[in-house]
Amino acid sequence: MTPQSGRAPSRRSNVSSFLAMDVLREANRLEQAGRRILHLEVGQPGTPAPALVREVAGRALESERLGYTDALGIPALRERIARHYGEVHGLDISAGRVAVTTGSSGAFILSYLAAFDIGARIALQVPGYPANRNILQALGLVDVPLRLSERARWAPTVALVEAAHRSQNLDGLLVASPANPSGTAIAPGALKALTGFCDGEGIRYIADEIYHGLTYDEPAQTALKFSGQAIVINSFSKYYSMTGWRVGWVVLPEDLVRPFERLAQNLFISVPALSQLAAVAAFDASDELEANRAAYARNRELLARRLPEIGLGRFLPMDGAFYAYVDVGEYCDDSAVLAARLLHEAGVAVTPGADFDPDEGYRYVRLSYAGPAGDIDEALTLIGEWLKANGAVR
């Protein structure tokens, strides 16, 4: 029995668990018991960090002290990130505005603390990445759900944000593009309109650009192009294939740099030195990273072709990231039940939509195509056979 301290845990710790991680835990348990499981639930690359990154890390382990670094990151990485915006977007961003963080997750926490007071209201996409909502709640901020529609390609519009602002007096707006779980991206015109509206109304625009680099038709535009007030967050986790290295970054408006730095010093001291030194090399690993992207692009085509063949034809074109958000409403009342049965009976792990959308996610599952093509192909065959044999799950 757990000893009782006589005090309840904090109310702020009472955030929902991450269902994708629960599915992963169950899938791992089945694997340990000898079952073969195909993983379409995990939102991370199946590839390791680029060879160049691992080489630099190996050398740094031998030759560097690897102590604390500046709270905002090592100058070489801050400068390299700033240069990246020149190379990719033609923007002149000062390295002084760049802060290196422990994944983008660290950037979100510090950005919210630097920009908002307790009780501030931040609008965010629903469906959307569940940690966004939970981080806000844990920090005493109020999440204002922007209910998006599949018909509008899950894209937030100025009209939606304006309506939320009129009723809730927003302090911030968080937009991920390309988005998780939908894989859809907002068009440059819409991004310009949203940032323009927010700047005009004094709403802080926070851009989650963690899936930048992983687009398949049009390259993604950065919010930095349209706003000097936006907080723009990115990560080495996805395109750069470095989830476990826990390194990301944020480009801040000038006036938030020092507040952010004070918080970073006190809350984290610094980001792991080894990850920072290695991450500098990630920008020189384009050949390997573009090969990864080409593999995702092939997986995406495979999904787009095969999903309708197995009776799962209700999903939107996938602009970016590595997810398909599929409407399974004709097969079940609750996609969590469908996901559990697919895992146990077909040996395929998928993520139920309730993770991303507590109200309407019961109709959807998210499939990740970040893994090997052979696994995805086989998983689709197994799902198709299972659906044929079982029909609807009610």
Ligand X SMILES: Cc1ncc(COP(=O)(O)O)c(C=O)c1O
365 binds ligand X (CB under 6 A): no
Structure tokens at 346: 């077909």
Nearest to 257 by CA among 223, 231, 233: 231
Of 125, 180, 292, 368, the residue at the interface with ligand X (CB under 6 A) is: 180
Find the shortest distance in angstroms from Cβ 371 to ligand X. 15
Find the shortest distance in angstroms from Cβ 94 to ligand X. 23
Looking at 164-237, which runs of residues are DSSP E strands? Answer: 172-176, 204-208, 231-235
SS3 content of the chain, % helix, strand, coil (to 5): 45, 15, 40
How far apart are alpha carbons 364 and 355 in whole angstroms?
Answer: 10
Q: Among residues 105 and 335, whose Cβ is nearest to ligand X? A: 105
Residues ≥6 apart with Cβ < 8 Å to 7? none
103 binds ligand X (CB under 6 A): yes
Q: Among residues 323 and 362, whose Cβ is nearest to ligand X? A: 323
250 binds ligand X (CB under 6 A): no
Of 69, 104, 227, 368, the residue at the interface with ligand X (CB under 6 A) is: 104
Structure tokens at 111: 């950005």
Find the shortest distance in angstroms from Cβ 182 to ligand X. 10
362 binds ligand X (CB under 6 A): no
How far apart are alpha carbons 88 and 294 in whole angstroms?
Answer: 18
Q: Among residues 274 and 382, whose Cβ is nearest to ligand X? A: 274
Of 85, 129, 325, 364, the residue at the interface with ligand X (CB under 6 A) is: 129
Which range, of 73-81, 102-110, 268-276, 309-317, touches ligand X by CB under 6 A?
102-110
235 binds ligand X (CB under 6 A): yes
Residues ≥6 apart with Cβ < 8 Å to 243? 44, 45, 103, 237
- In the region spanning residues 17 to 56, those forming contacts with ligand X, defined by CB under 6 A, are 43
Q: Among residues 45 and 347, whose Cβ is nearest to ligand X? A: 45
Q: Among residues 115 and 176, whose Cβ is nearest to ligand X? A: 176
Nearest to 83 by CA among 207, 246, 264, 249: 249
Closest-by-Cβ residue to ligand X is 103
CB contact at 8 A, 322 and 359: no
Which range, of 79-87, 100-108, 154-162, 275-283, touches ligand X by CB under 6 A?
100-108
320 binds ligand X (CB under 6 A): no
CB contact at 8 A, 176 and 125: yes
Residue type, 314: R
Q: In 10 A of CB 44, how many CB atoms? A: 16
Of 210, 230, 250, 271, the residue at the interface with ligand X (CB under 6 A) is: 210
105 binds ligand X (CB under 6 A): yes
Looking at 153-301, which runs of residues are DSSP E strands? Answer: 172-176, 204-208, 231-235, 248-251
The site for ligand X (CB under 6 A) is made up of 43, 103-105, 129, 176, 180, 208, 210, 235, 237, 243, 248
